[in-house]
Structure 1
Amino acid sequence: MTPPLSSKNSPRFDRTSAAILDAGAQVFSAEGAGANLAAVAAAAGVSRATLYRYYANREALLDALSADALDAAARRLADAGLERATVEEAIERILRAFVALGDRYAVLTNDHATLETAHEQLAAPLQDVLARGIRTGVLRDDLSVEILYEFLAATILQAIKLNQRHRLGLEEASATAARFFLDGTRARN
């Protein structure tokens, strides 16, 4: 039997930690990584002393947020069944998975080093779909998988921003971004 997760091996070890992570994702996404930790504590409904009991400093909180976001993104991609979907459906599922993460994924984009780690950990399933798209003639073959991946990553980030700014709802942002990406990368006949 697996022992229960403790604070030492999980960034979301109880409700208070989860509230702090949720608030941190919202505040850092809106204000950037330099946001005031007092604002995070207030958004979580806890005192600054409580926040510091859970996360000793800004870096510890950002590290926990990054780990939480990477874990959530990896789980969503694993659950998406990308390998069983058509290329078009897989791209739609990828966009939906990331846009649904919203604030959490946006926190990853605030720090270049963290973003590089995220790309390293999350790129493989996306690049597999793109490679399959090129191989099957769905996606254009005059651009490499790496270039298509860069365009897809930028499309994901823009869809998240549009959703966060309440300019498009989650489903509309995901669907529009998928159409936008596919229309620009579809194979030429």
Structure 2
Amino acid sequence: MASAAAPRPLHARSEELLLEVAADVLAARPQASMAEIAAAAGVSRATLYRTFPNREALLERMAVAALAEAGRRLDDSHLDAVPCEEAVARAARALLSVGSRYAVLNGAAGPVDEAAAERIGAPLRRLVQRGQAEGALRADVPAEWLLQMWGGLLRAGLRIAGEGAGVEDAAASVTTLFLEGAGARG
């Protein structure tokens, strides 16, 4: 009989719950106050401020959570197990879903955890390189350029998803535009 994993400390679970609520509140209303976030979480402002001393600390921790979630979603998308075109679509859906949830962070400048960012960048880079090697993506454009262009489309997709298009439609548009522009020439 396998033993159950050790439970996470209460503080870690509480922080995760506060981050989830904050992400939901700030996705709906980016200018929401810490008091509004605390109320939505069902905790006092003092409790919220003990966990996150200020809004900046909350946003920094949300950025870490967003990168971790994006990495998990890309892992769960099994990009290496499907043809390049399907992998591009899966990656776009995964990233736009996370980006929509953490919309308050879009365009925010701040310290970036390079290791966490690479957890997202590495599978996308491998996907583009695989697509080039298989002839599905243009090989006459450097892989890094394709990644930067795809990133621009994803950022635009986040904006249009936030303006009411929704994640699925935005992801479909990003995927189509990227593959039509980056697709191998016949």
State TM-score, norm by structure 2.
0.82
CA distance in 1: counterparts of 2:175 and 2:169, whole angstroms: 10
CA distance in 2: counterparts of 1:31 and 1:75, whole angstroms: 25
State the Cα RMSD in Å.
2.7
CA distance in 1: counterparts of 2:56 and 2:10, whole angstroms: 16
Identity percentage over the alignment? 33
Instruction: Using the TM superposition, give the Cα deviation of residue 117 of structure 1 relative to its aligned residue in structure 2, in angstroms.
Output: 5.7
Match of 2:126 in 1: 128
The residue correspondences of 1:165-180 to structure 2 (distance < 5 A) are 165-166=163-164, 168-180=165-177
Match of 2:138 in 1: 140
CA distance in 1: counterparts of 2:94 and 2:105, whole angstroms: 16
Match of 1:5 in 2: 8
Per-residue CA shift, 1:23-51, capped at 9, x if unaligned?
2464278647xx74334334545432221
CA distance in 2: counterparts of 1:29 and 1:139, whole angstroms: 37
Contact 2:64/2:116, CA 8 A, preserved across alignment:
no
CA distance in 2: counterparts of 1:29 and 1:114, whole angstroms: 24
Match of 1:60 in 2: 57
Contact 2:77/2:91, CA 8 A, preserved across alignment:
yes
Contact 1:22/1:44, CA 8 A, preserved across alignment:
yes
Count of residue pairs the alignment pairs up: 182
Instruction: Using the TM superposition, give the Cα deviation of residue 99 of structure 1 relative to its aligned residue in structure 2, in angstroms.
Output: 1.3
CA distance in 1: counterparts of 2:103 and 2:125, whole angstroms: 18
Contact 1:134/1:140, CA 8 A, preserved across alignment:
yes
CA distance in 2: counterparts of 1:50 and 1:144, whole angstroms: 49
State TM-score, norm by structure 1.
0.81
Per-residue CA shift, 1:108-133, capped at 9, x if unaligned?
64124328665323100001010011
SS in 1 for 2:53: coil
Q: Structure 1: 5+ residue runs without aligned partners?
A: none
SS in 1 for 2:6: coil
Structure 1 residues 150, 106: closer, same or farther in 2, change over 3 A? farther
Structure 1 residues 20, 79: closer, same or farther in 2, change over 3 A? closer
Contact 2:30/2:104, CA 8 A, preserved across alignment:
no
Structure 1 residues 29, 139: closer, same or farther in 2, change over 3 A? farther
SS in 1 for 2:112: helix
Instruction: Using the TM superposition, give the Cα deviation of residue 185 of structure 1 relative to its aligned residue in structure 2, in angstroms.
Output: 0.6
Match of 2:117 in 1: 119
2:21 partner letter: D
CA distance in 2: counterparts of 1:29 and 1:108, whole angstroms: 14
